[in-house]
Amino acid sequence: MRREASILHLDLDAFFAAVEQRDKPSLRGRPVVVGGVGGRGVVATASYEARAYGARSAMSTAEARRRCPPGTAFLGGRFAAYRRTSDVVMALLRELSPLVEPVSIDEAYVDLGAGHGLDLSVDGVTRLAHGLKERIAAATGGVTGSVGIGSSKLMAKIASDLDKPDGLVVVPPGGELRVLHPLPVTRLGGVGPATAERLHQVGVKTVADLAAKSLPDLVALAGRAHGTGLYALARAEDDRPVVAEREAKSISQEETFARDLTDLRVLGRYVESMAARVGSRLRASAYSGRTVTLKLRRYDFTTLTRSQTLPHPTDDPRVIASIAARLLAEAGTQGGLRLLGVGVSGLSLYAQGDLFATDEEPVDDAEEAPGAEVEEAPEPLTAESRWWPGQDVRHDEHGAGWVWGRGLGRVTVRFEGPLTPPGPVRTLAADDPALHPAEPPEWRVSAPAPPTP
DNA sequence: TCTGGGGTCCTAGGACCC
DNA sequence: TCTGGGGTCCTAGGACCC
């Protein structure tokens, strides 16, 4: 813990849904749910309008559909659009201080103490945060964020959560326990359902209850590392530094199938495709790794992993695929698999194999998903399966728009963009040659100015 | 129509070595 | 020949986070 409130935490509000409402004017003020739209999808983000009906992150999309009224938009994610908006926000944070730690696409810590000549008084950081929130809203076309500032990562994160959405809370140094102790223990990072249940069984509901427990009690309850961590957090003791760059530890790819799969040949094609994607991601980041892990989830949701460690690191998709395929054959597919995953860990920056690299191209995965080519695959491609709800499109005659829905050989498109009023809906043939997938729309009136040197 | 996809960190047991 | 402890690596699983 520091003597000054010099750590800032930013959490963008209902981020995916907010970007959708910015880019799709007809959805502003209406319930929007972003996530998996297939039969086994889950909610990634629900807009505040959708939360009012009980839609929540991690809920199955089916459940969210039951809870939300007709007219609610259920959209697949547009990650390129979210990434672009996130990059704009992260750049604004780096204007405050060079020490910025992105936690995820919509969340980051900033060490204001590493900034140049900032006023770190409570009034000073409050003014700074107000200015930051204004600049974020202006630069992102109205996406808001909740800011917390405190003497540690713990307090900054707790503070940003106290007044959502569009909030700003500064915990003055010395006021940590007054804020922390009344809160439920589940607000502490690292207290999930399992730990919360065990804590409740020994009468711990609030952080104050937790602080009354002895260190040996907590270690017995939650293990050595976790127990000592909880003991410290309950006292607002937290000296974790803000870390700008983190090395990746693993790279993986997984997929839940629309229907459970049993056929080893079909699953083998998924293994190859996933290994190819993992291999290209490894090569793109100049990593290679020694341990190949196969993950599978059976029809009854039991999940297991099988792994093998190689003597030397690899980024070769053929090596990854053959190991994963063997692990899959050994594990078996009895009863059917709902999920398959392929990952590589034990990463290092240079592959031994690179010294002897051939000119051979890596297996290319981009063009052929396994489902595209085989009749055993669960969902053969149709004209309408090119389109998914939320997708950006352009029509030669009607202009830019986005896909609302599809079915019966048709696709429904709303023609509007972030800078237009709500636009008209048109239903088109799914194979209309004038309809094309498009890039995410530009939300700013003019292109952003190039960064000044 | 139950339960995504990408990660990180920790624990525990067995193999193996000194 | 027996006993023992410590450290590291590997594998598997689980909790947790966004």
b/e burial code for range A49-70 (CB count within 10 A of at least 16 → b): bbbeeebebebebeebbebbee
Q: Please tell me the predicted confidence (pLDDT) of residue A451.
A: 55
Strand B reaches within 7 A of the A273 CB? no
Q: Please tell me the predicted confidence (pLDDT) of residue A162.
A: 98
Which residues have a Cβ under 8 Å from the Cβ of A117 and sit 6 or more positions away?
none
pLDDT score of A398 more than 70: yes
A11 is in an annotated binding site: yes
Let me know if residue A351 belongs to a domain: yes
Q: How many domains does chain A have?
A: 4
Q: CA A365 – C1' C8 distance (Å)?
A: 38
Whether the Cβ atoms of residue A342 and residue A292 lie closer than 8 Å to each other: yes
Strand C reaches within 7 A of the A42 CB? no
Let me know if residue A27 belongs to a domain: yes
Q: Which residues pair with A304 in a beta bridge?
A: A296
Is the domain of A49 the same as that of A96? Answer: yes
pTM as predicted: 0.92
Q: Which of A317, A341, A357 is the last residue of a domain?
A: A357
Q: Find which nucleotide's C1' atom is closest to A293's CA.
A: C11
Report the CATH number at residue A326.
3.30.1490.100
CA–CA distance, A142 with A182 (Å, rounded to integer): 33
Tokens of A445: 């009136």
pLDDT score of A358 more than 90: no
Is the domain of A19 the same as that of A155? Answer: yes
Is the domain of A264 the same as that of A397? Answer: no
The mean-pLDDT minimum among A307-311, A340-344, A447-451 falls in: A447-451
Tokens of A84: 């672009």
Is the domain of A274 the same as that of A311? Answer: yes
Q: Please tell me the predicted confidence (pLDDT) of residue A380.
A: 55
Let me know if residue A363 belongs to a domain: no
pLDDT band at A383 (very low <50, low <70, confident <90, very high): confident
Let me know if residue A442 belongs to a domain: no
Which residues have a Cβ under 8 Å from the Cβ of A166 and sit 6 or more positions away?
A13, A133, A144, A145, A146
Q: CA A327 – C1' C11 distance (Å)?
A: 13
Is the domain of A25 the same as that of A153? Answer: yes
Is the domain of A41 the same as that of A120? Answer: yes
Which residue range is the domain that position A226 belongs to? 189-233
Strand B reaches within 7 A of the A42 CB? yes
Report the CATH number at residue A412.
2.30.30
Per-residue pLDDT tens over the stretch A310-331: 999 999 999 999 999 999 999 9
Q: Find which nucleotide's C1' atom is closest to A341's CA.
A: B5
Which 292-351 residues of chain A approach strand B with CB closer than 7 Å? 300-301, 338-339, 341, 343, 345
Per-residue pLDDT tens over the stretch A33-50: 999 998 999 999 999 999
Strand B reaches within 7 A of the A223 CB? yes
Report the CATH number at residue A198.
1.10.150
Q: Please tell me the predicted confidence (pLDDT) of residue A369.
A: 42
Let me know if residue A373 belongs to a domain: no
pLDDT score of A355 more than 80: no
